[in-house]
Amino acid sequence: MNAINQPCSAKELLPERFRQWFAARGWAPRAHQLALLDKARRQRSALLIAPTGAGKTLAGFLPTLVELSSPSSHLSPRAGRGRLAGVAGKPGEGADEIATELATEAPPSPRTRGEGQTAPHSGGLHTLYISPLKALAVDIARNLETPIAEMALPIRVETRTGDTPVSRRQRQRRYPPQILLTTPEQLALLLASDDAPHLFGTLRRVVLDELHALVTSKRGDLLSLGLARLWRLAPQLRMVGLSATVAEPEQLARFLVPQHRSPSPASGEGEQRADIVVAGGAAQPIVDMLDSRERLPWAGHSARHALGEIYELIHRHTITLVFVNTRSQAEMLFQELWRINDDNLPIALHHGSLDVAQRRKVEDAMTAGRLRAVVCTSSLDLGVDWGDVDLVINVGAPKGASRLMQRIGRANHRLDEPSRAVLVPANRFEVLECRVAIDAIAQNAQDTPPLRRGALDVLAQHVLGCACAEPFVADQLFEEVISAAPYAELVRSDFDDVVAFVATGGYALQSYERFARIKQDQQGRWRVANPKVRQSYRLNVGTIVEDTMLKVRLVRSQRGAASGATGAISRGGRLLGEIEEGFIESMVPGDTFVFGGEVVRYEAMAEDQVYVSRAHDQDARVPSYMGGKFPLSTYLADRVRRLLDDRRAWAALPDQVRDWLSLQAELSVVPGSRQLLVECFPHAGKHYLVCYPFEGRLAHQTLGMLLTRRLERARARPLGFVANEYALAVWGLGDLSALIRQRRLDLDALFEPDMLGDDLEAWLAESALMKRTFKTCAVISGLIPRRFVGAEKSRRQVLFSTDLVYDVLRKHQPNHVLLRAARADAATGLLDLRRLGDMLARISGRIAYKSLERVSPLAVPVLLEIGREAVYGEASDDLLAEAAEELVRTAMG
Amino acid sequence: MGGAKGTSLKARRQLRSQATSTQIADAPPQGEAQPVITVAGTSMIADLAGALYWPDQRLLVVADLHLEKGSSFAARGVLLPPYDTLATLGQLSAVIARFDPKAVIALGDSFHDGEAHQRLSAANRDHLAALQARRDWIWIVGNHDPELPCALGGTVASELAIGAINFRHEPTGARGEIAGHLHPKARIAARGRAIERRCFASDGERLVMPSFGAYTGGLSIRDAAFLRVFGAPGFHAHVLGDRQLYTVAAARCC
């Protein structure tokens, strides 16, 4: 990693007016800000790695501001047209018009220096800024306004998001601003228009904000393909990536420059990635684990035991951000905090499912310093600075070291002062996780995931977008696509399959030629078959496929009435927010859950509305959902295993936890760091098998599905299983200890990695998780329009179900490109197959087996999850059988 | 949604079956116990594929095949896999092989749109003809396929009465009626899990068939449309499980 290798003087790199501006504010340009100016002057793309509060954004924009401050940039004819447009466009643009139309007022500078530094810009769009959050784009525009106004720079800055009015969008295409702030989806839309070459031909710089967050998802794939197109449209283009600290910066730096399959010997390794600039000087954060006076719970995620202590911490600080992992945890904690909030401290709630207006209100109150605490989820992981946060509390599992570090960075956005954070584990296993996370942060260890392999469904969307812009030649487009880092290893046959899919669905049965969306012309160029295809592309762009969201409305209770049936309930009611359809679908009318800070009762669902009434219960019946999006990182899991294996390290643990582990050592076994401990014991009339892979809930769920299949074959009569982040418990009627003793069940064979073969295939055919994965691919690839997905509930009858499409396709063309895309997603997504595979390989031949008389201390937490957490099994006939028996019982009186 | 609209081309006669109730029912082709649903005093066998078999008449009923639904969407730019007709006819031929019926009633919406029959591939057309051979085949018209050409083989009708039973596409709620159109499905949830399956909906006097087509989605039997058919909430869902039919109170579904 080359850090800032040569000290550059501010004088050399910054024009006089910038130096004066810095001086007037009492600032000195930071080393990494100068380093980025230097990279820009030498026409290098750069990745800036800096903690929050390092002035990252200004660093990213300084080269642009300096280049555009040279007068030559606004003397071009196009800038003149922009001036007219600016004046004409002013009335009726609304208060949120960000444009700084200084170009019309600034007198032409008599000096023409600056041309020696960089080639003059000939007008038009100069810099594109892309961020994952549209709120961030708006905020950055506001922040840029200050230096631009104070230095009287002739620069127009505009934002373009989903909220931008059509009139302004059109004007932006004809008369682009010098700086445009936008999102990956808007970039895709702009690139799919036929004036993309005109718009982007002048582009000099792209600034990618929060790059570490963008590249971990399919949005990053889409963005990378957009960049590949930009490199072709504007070969002079240089990139700047702004990122928090990541595990492999060299990988991330590849994202910023075109990749070449066989680099010419002349261009070295360095040509395949951007230069890396690391901002130093951040103070080490001060992170503690709450040493609770209370008894530590064995299981659960509520951290109710520490409530009083959390409240005290909020009291002692100015503004506290309280991070939790799931929406339901946020709801619960918020509610509990208010229950003990005797001093009426202004404490607010923020999560992604709340109404947008409600969220904005909280954010504004935060910025204005009117709040003392906000209970929030990852909805505040990224984004704008919110006032003077002086403490971050992380309740529950940290999940990953880098992720925790980024959250902690939300406190105190000043580099030279340490951020302060307190970790509050909600149960005993989380104590172990918090302990190793604190150690990891002290060592600056990073565990961000490796760079993705580009998804084929995203590629399909992009290919259609390319055809919408202009006819393409497959060979040329392939070359362009593989210049994007995530697609650098794409094989040609996959690309050809994707093109065939975009054209006619890519089916072995070629019956859709006449319905083709793109067609080859005489010269072999692929062009859009009709204007409707373009329209449909525009409506479906993007990679974020959310579970269909239903509006939650508060109505009067219908208890006693025949609730549940459509029409039985009075319409209307106050809007509380939105909720995932999948969550509601698992509920029965009458079930209670926490939403918007109160316990509500599910009454009915009608079209896209969910009706709930206020429940007077203290506790919600349906406790949580999904258990959070992110599994425990492989890195932290490894550290937890090593902590368990190292008795001396137990000294750093709270007494209660140390005692618990000592008891485990006495009564069973504490597993070695490379071992898998498997315990079998009878409990409450059933036989249990508990194992401790520490690979996260998703991988454990998949393992549970596959193990129960195998145990069924071994006649162990399994009944169900429950998984948490650390362990998996399977129970059944068969005496597992006896089966193992009699050698009728072989543990090594049970955990044999070949379960990822036939067993997996058989299960995938049925798996609801796999069907959900397929649906996402079908939407992103453009097979199924978004409006159909969203329209399901607003129409009386479903148009068609993607589950049925999956079943039919799987049976008749199992190697179809969309099924391949879905399987690739399953490796890392909801099924976490890759991680499961790595685990099975790791523990092969290293199973530590212990047959016990009763439940072991280590097994208690996962057994307590039974009944508290949803039992993970694919719902099947047994559920129907149960309901049928209920009917019989009712009939028999 | 309108019912069958009259045209000059289509034979809109009402068929009266000559079959008598004294006819001896053949033994069911399988040895297992067959789930029986009674409609207005008549016993029928519910097949897990979503078909209904009337042993006394050796009559098989399937509803809402929606053949060529895939290509119907494809024509509108949604390129669904073109295997739905193949899959639906495959299922149908398995059911026909199980019961070897003397007559088959396709209870409306057999084709997804008015031109769907023209889009049948030659292979599928042959497959259909083979299924029709040596048995009566009655196409009841539906709102998706109000007109059907004679070339399809079989007889076209808007409704059909046999004894106490009336077959039509859209349910009216009349006693003894067997209809389709609504695509009933049942969702059962418990302990955070949920399962959704197609079902027969019946109160013993009238019955709504599950949809048979490979791409046909469903409408929850808790929808008000079913309340209108049955008049009271006390009807049942006969849910198509993997291994057997489960009878559940409609009110138990969500």
Range with the poorest average pLDDT among A465-469, A608-612, B87-91, B196-200: A608-612
In which band, very low, low, confident or very high, does the pLDDT at A102 lie, cut at 50, 70 and 90? very low
Structure tokens at B206: 């009238």
Query: Helix A456-469 crosses helix A768-780 at what angle (to 10 degrees)?
Result: 20
The verdict on a CB contact (< 8 Å) between A586 and B193 is yes
Please say whether the beta carbons of A750 and A707 come within 8 A: yes
Q: Which of B190, B215, B233 sits opposite A805 (nearest CB)?
A: B215
Range with the poorest average pLDDT among A271-280, A324-333, A437-446, A602-611: A602-611
pLDDT of A877 = 67
The arrangement of strands across the sheet holding A347-350 comes to: A286-289, A420-424, A391-395, A320-323, A373-376, A347-350
First-to-final CA distance of chain B: 25
Could you tell me whether strands A549-554 and A574-580 are parallel, antiparallel, or unpaired per DSSP bridges? antiparallel
User: Cα(A13)–Cα(A32) distance, rounded to whole angstroms?
Assistant: 12
Residue among A522, A520, A468 nearest A496 (CA): A520
In which band, very low, low, confident or very high, does the pLDDT at B112 lie, cut at 50, 70 and 90? very high
Share of chain A above pLDDT 70, in %: 83
Q: Which of A514, A721, A804 to mutate to test the interface with B (most CBs of B within 10 A)?
A: A804
Kindly tell me if the per-residue pLDDT of B148 is higher than 80: yes
How many helices (DSSP H) and strands (DSSP E) are in chain A?
A: 35, 25
The verdict on a CB contact (< 8 Å) between B219 and A796 is yes
Please say whether the beta carbons of A393 and A321 come within 8 A: yes
Kindly tell me if the per-residue pLDDT of B156 is higher than 70: yes
The verdict on a CB contact (< 8 Å) between A622 and B187 is no
Looking at residues B104-119, what average pLDDT do you find? 95
Looking at residues A224-236, what average pLDDT do you find? 97
Residue among A320, A304, A325, A444 nearest A386 (CA): A320
Structure tokens at A740: 């193992």
Q: Which of A507, A511, A800 sits opposite B215 (nearest CB)?
A: A800
- Residue in A closest to B221 by C-alpha: A565
Residue among A518, A680, A242 nearest B79 (CA): A518
Question: What residues of chain B lie within 8 A of the CB of A500, using their CB?
Answer: none
- Within 10 A of A885 (CB to CB), how many other CB atoms are there? 12
Q: Look up tokens 């880098």; give the residue.
A: A402
Looking at residues B53-61, what average pLDDT do you find? 97
- Residue in B closest to A583 by C-alpha: B192
Kindly tell me if the per-residue pLDDT of B1 is higher than 60: no
Kindly tell me if the per-residue pLDDT of A361 is higher than 90: no
Q: Could you give the C-alpha distances from A642 to A79, A649, A656, A660, in angstroms and in order?
A: 62, 9, 19, 17
How many residues are recorded in chain A?
A: 893
Q: Which residue has the higher pLDDT, B33 or A25?
A: A25
pLDDT in tens, A823-859: 999 888 778 888 999 999 999 999 999 999 999 999 9
The verdict on a CB contact (< 8 Å) between B81 and A515 is no
The verdict on a CB contact (< 8 Å) between A586 and B189 is yes
Question: What residues of chain A lie within 8 A of the CB of B71, using their CB?
Answer: 511-512, 515
Question: What residues of chain B lie within 8 A of the CB of A887, using their CB?
Answer: 236, 247-249, 252
pLDDT of A91 = 34
- Within 10 A of B54 (CB to CB), how many other CB atoms are there? 24
pLDDT of A98 = 30
How near does any CA of chain A get to the CA of B98, in Å? 22
Q: Which residue has the higher pLDDT, A465 or A796?
A: A465
In which band, very low, low, confident or very high, does the pLDDT at A795 lie, cut at 50, 70 and 90? very low
In which band, very low, low, confident or very high, does the pLDDT at A345 lie, cut at 50, 70 and 90? very high
The verdict on a CB contact (< 8 Å) between B214 and A807 is yes
pLDDT of A320 = 94
Q: Which residue has the higher pLDDT, B8 or B217?
A: B217
User: Cα(A866)–Cα(A845) distance, rounded to whole angstroms?
Assistant: 30
Structure tokens at A286: 């001060």
Question: What residues of chain B lie within 8 A of the CB of A788, using their CB?
Answer: 78
pLDDT in tens, A479-506: 999 999 999 999 999 999 999 999 999 9
Looking at residues A48-70, what average pLDDT do you find? 87
Q: Which of A800, A806, A868 to mutate to test the interface with B (most CBs of B within 10 A)?
A: A800
The verdict on a CB contact (< 8 Å) between B78 and A784 is yes
The verdict on a CB contact (< 8 Å) between B249 and A586 is no
Please say whether the beta carbons of B86 and B128 come within 8 A: no
- Residue in A closest to B71 by C-alpha: A512
Q: How far is CA A478 from the centre of its chain?
A: 28
Range with the poorest average pLDDT among A319-323, A598-602, A846-850: A598-602
User: Cα(B123)–Cα(A509) distance, rounded to whole angstroms?
Assistant: 12
Q: Which residue has the higher pLDDT, A630 or A819?
A: A819
pLDDT of A116 = 35
Structure tokens at A268: 């070295």
- Does B197 contact chain A (CB < 8 Å)? yes
Please say whether the beta carbons of A448 and A243 come within 8 A: no
User: Cα(A765)–Cα(A146) distance, rounded to whole angstroms?
Assistant: 57
Kindly tell me if the per-residue pLDDT of A474 is higher than 60: yes
Looking at residues A598-607, what average pLDDT do you find? 77
Residue among A145, A174, A141, A133 nearest A159 (CA): A141
Query: What is the SS3 assignment for A349?
Result: strand
In which band, very low, low, confident or very high, does the pLDDT at A3 lie, cut at 50, 70 and 90? very low
Question: What residues of chain A lie within 8 A of the CB of B254, using their CB?
Answer: 564, 587-589
Share of chain A above pLDDT 90, in %: 50
Domains in chain A and their CATH numbers?
10-257 (3.40.50.300), 286-442 (3.40.50.300), 456-543+773-824 (no CATH), 549-614 (no CATH), 648-767+831-879 (no CATH)
Please say whether the beta carbons of A797 and B211 come within 8 A: no
Kindly tell me if the per-residue pLDDT of A596 is higher than 50: yes
Query: What is the SS3 assignment for A418?
Result: coil
pLDDT of A354 = 77
In which band, very low, low, confident or very high, does the pLDDT at A261 lie, cut at 50, 70 and 90? confident
Kindly tell me if the per-residue pLDDT of A590 is higher than 90: no
User: Cα(A267)–Cα(A341) distance, rounded to whole angstroms?
Assistant: 64
The 3-class SS string of chain B reads: CCCCCCCCCCCCCCEECCCCCCCCCCCCCCCCCCCEEEECCEEEEECCCCCEEEHHHCEEEEECCCECHHHHHHHCCCCCCCCHHHHHHHHHHHHHHHHCCCEEEECCCCECCCCHHHHCCHHHHHHHHHHHCCCEEEEECCCCCCCCCHHHCCEEECEEEECCEEEECCCCCCCCEEECCCCEEEEEEECCEEEEEEEEEECCCCEECCECCCCCCCEECCCHHHHHHHCCCCCEEEEECCCCEEEEEHHHCC
Kindly tell me if the per-residue pLDDT of B11 is higher than 70: no
Q: Which residue has the higher pLDDT, A118 or A706?
A: A706
Q: How far is CA A213 from the centre of its chain?
A: 7
Question: What residues of chain B lie within 8 A of the CB of A587, using their CB?
Answer: 189, 254
Structure tokens at A205: 């710089």
Question: What residues of chain B lie within 8 A of the CB of A813, using their CB?
Answer: 81, 83
pLDDT of B221 = 92
- Residue in B closest to A603 by C-alpha: B254
pLDDT of A300 = 78
Q: Which of B121, B216, B242 sits opposite A511 (nearest CB)?
A: B121
User: Cα(A677)–Cα(A634) distance, rounded to whole angstroms?
Assistant: 18
pLDDT in tens, A500-545: 999 999 999 888 999 999 999 999 999 999 999 999 999 889 987 7
The verdict on a CB contact (< 8 Å) between A808 and B215 is yes
pLDDT in tens, B163-216: 999 999 999 999 999 999 999 999 887 655 678 899 999 999 999 999 999 999
Q: How far is CA A494 from the centre of its chain?
A: 26
Interface predicted TM-score (ipTM) of this complex, two decimals: 0.85
The verdict on a CB contact (< 8 Å) between A796 and B242 is no
Residue among A472, A443, A430 nearest A303 (CA): A430
Q: Look up tokens 């206020």; give the residue.
A: A614
Kindly tell me if the per-residue pLDDT of A662 is higher than 90: yes
Kindly tell me if the per-residue pLDDT of A186 is higher than 90: yes
- Does B16 contact chain A (CB < 8 Å)? no
How near does any CA of chain B get to the CA of A515, in Å? 6
Instruction: Count residue pairs from A and B with Cβ separation < 8 A.
Output: 159
Q: Could you give the C-alpha distances from A533 to A159, A530, A553, B75, in angstroms and in order?
A: 27, 6, 37, 12
In which band, very low, low, confident or very high, does the pLDDT at B27 lie, cut at 50, 70 and 90? very low
Structure tokens at A87: 């004046």
- Within 10 A of B191 (CB to CB), how many other CB atoms are there? 16
How near does any CA of chain B get to the CA of A617, in Å? 19
pLDDT of B33 = 64
Q: Which residue has the higher pLDDT, A7 or A172?
A: A172
Query: What is the SS3 assignment for A870?
Result: coil
- Rounded mean pLDDT of chain B? 86
Characterise A595 by phi-psi region: left (phi > 0), alpha (psi -120 to 50), beta (else): beta
User: Cα(A31)–Cα(A94) distance, rounded to whole angstroms?
Assistant: 39
pLDDT of A561 = 43
The verdict on a CB contact (< 8 Å) between B216 and A536 is no
User: Cα(A2)–Cα(A856) distance, rounded to whole angstroms?
Assistant: 51
In which band, very low, low, confident or very high, does the pLDDT at A356 lie, cut at 50, 70 and 90? confident
Residue among B143, B214, B135 nearest B179 (CA): B143
Q: Which of A504, A562, A797 sits opposite B217 (nearest CB)?
A: A797
In which band, very low, low, confident or very high, does the pLDDT at A81 lie, cut at 50, 70 and 90? very low
pLDDT of A200 = 96
In which band, very low, low, confident or very high, does the pLDDT at A788 lie, cut at 50, 70 and 90? low
The verdict on a CB contact (< 8 Å) between B183 and A532 is no
The verdict on a CB contact (< 8 Å) between A812 and B218 is no
The verdict on a CB contact (< 8 Å) between A884 and B246 is yes
- Does B102 contact chain A (CB < 8 Å)? no
In which band, very low, low, confident or very high, does the pLDDT at A412 lie, cut at 50, 70 and 90? low
Structure tokens at A36: 């980025």
Could you tell me whether strands B207-208 and B177-179 are parallel, antiparallel, or unpaired per DSSP bridges? parallel
pLDDT of A709 = 82
Q: Which of B84, B197, B224 sits opposite A566 (nearest CB)?
A: B224
Query: What is the SS3 assignment for A329?
Result: helix
The verdict on a CB contact (< 8 Å) between B87 and A812 is yes
CA angle B53, B57, B61 (to 5 degrees): 35
In which band, very low, low, confident or very high, does the pLDDT at A778 lie, cut at 50, 70 and 90? very high
- Does B246 contact chain A (CB < 8 Å)? yes
User: Cα(A872)–Cα(B193) distance, rounded to whole angstroms?
Assistant: 8
Beta strands in A179-258 (DSSP E): 179-182, 205-208, 238-243
User: Cα(A410)–Cα(A51) distance, rounded to whole angstroms?
Assistant: 10
- Helix (H) or strand (E) run with residue A406 in it: helix A401-408
Kindly tell me if the per-residue pLDDT of B7 is higher than 60: no
- Rounded mean pLDDT of chain A? 83
pLDDT of A558 = 62
How near does any CA of chain A get to the CA of B31, in Å? 22
- Does B94 contact chain A (CB < 8 Å)? no
Structure tokens at A320: 């506290």
Domains in chain B and their CATH numbers?
36-252 (3.60.21)
Amino acid symbol at A213: A
Question: What residues of chain B lie within 8 A of the CB of A783, using their CB?
Answer: 78-80
Q: Which of B86, B121, B189 sits opposite A588 (nearest CB)?
A: B189
User: Cα(A148)–Cα(A348) distance, rounded to whole angstroms?
Assistant: 35
Please say whether the beta carbons of B178 and B167 come within 8 A: yes
Could you tell me whether strands A728-732 and A847-851 are parallel, antiparallel, or unpaired per DSSP bridges? unpaired
Looking at residues A345-356, what average pLDDT do you find? 85
pLDDT in tens, A142-169: 889 989 999 999 999 999 988 888 899 8
